[in-house]
Amino acid sequence: MLSTVAYVVFPCLLGFVLVRKYRERTWSWCKNNASLEGKIVLITGANSGIGYETAKELARRQAHIIFACRNIDRAEEAMAKIRNSISNCKEMVAMQVDLSDLSNIRNFASEINKKYPKIDILINNAGVYLPLELNKVTKDGFEIHFGVNHLGHFLLTNLLIDNLKRAAPSRVVIVSSLLHESGKIDLDDLNLEILKKNLKKSRMNPGYSKSKLENAYFGRELATRLKGSGVDVHTVCPGFTHTGLFRDVVKWYHYILFAPVAFLFMRTAKQGAQTVIWCATEPTLIGESGNFYRNCAKYKSKVNFNSQLQTSLWDISSKLVGLKS
């Protein structure tokens, strides 16, 4: 028994640890120490996961942070945790916003405009991941991934554009995913009604992947429209990260079955937040806009972006949320 542990189990565990450490070295870390004192940062979904770790690091850098969250109680709990670990952090404020409700987003933006006429950094981090067979929709009737991950942030960002311009040089950081490369956008089926009728079982979620591709297109078009305004737009893949995003699809036995894979490939929320933090703070990115980033470096997407689709998606999105394109 002891010989089995010594010659089989221990070497395997050591191998796993070494591979994990090697992979961690390839993930990169935000190494700048740029201060954000006097800067106002708004982060959606800042109460947990990548959003929380981003907020914690930006609080350490003396930023004034707005926790834009659906659940105020959880936002306040997150702020209390940060205050307990960072003694000299600046003001943090929790404000309620429901990205699945366009009316709520408008009310939230109106409150922001009254209290914060200038916003230095907007981080569009919040998102949902749900099985398509649940047929979940937003309060306005949009397919949940399209409505929250894309349209919700699309409307919010557009409503806060003037705030960002007043604070120039300022930034918009859009959290996408490498899964955008497997996403497909059909302008005639943005709510996936046709796709769901012909849906086949798959490990991939086409609704989520499509929304991450929409994030990427949104970032590119937003950068084009804001050229010369002093507002830079950065789109980010945080990497395969262990957060609560997949809580509605992961069963208890998945944790056992995929524990080795998770150990080798999944980042912690703190590790996943690094490129988001980097895009929000890196001084050399001032004046750079419209790029996609991964591992704290520019990333060349495998997607052959279509400029006509990009413009059309913007125009349709504007119409759906009640904005002028």
Catalytic residues: 208
Residue with tokens 């003037």: 162
**Beta-carbon contacts of residue 309 (< 8 Å; ≥ 6 apart):** 185, 187, 217
Closest alpha carbon to 126 in 71, 203, 181: 71
Rounded to 10 deg, the angle between the 206-225 and 307-321 helix axes is: 100
Cα–Cα distances (Å) from 195 to 29, 134, 306, in that order, read: 39, 14, 21
Cα–Cα distances (Å) from 39 to 34, 69, 122, 169, 281, in that order, read: 11, 20, 11, 11, 11
The Cα–Cα gap between 270 and 255 comes to 20
Using only the alpha carbons of the chain, give its radius of gyration: 20
30: phi then psi, degrees, rounded to nearest 5: -75, 115
Tokens of 220: 């590119």
Q: Which residues pair with 234 in a beta bridge?
A: 173, 291
Q: Look at residue 239 and give its three-state secondary structure.
A: coil
Closest alpha carbon to 234 in 242, 226, 246: 226
- In this structure, the number of other CB atoms found within 10 A of the CB of residue 202 comes to 8
Give the β-pairing of 291-294 and 297-298: antiparallel
**Beta-carbon contacts of residue 126 (< 8 Å; ≥ 6 apart):** 44, 45, 51, 68, 69, 70, 99, 148, 152, 153
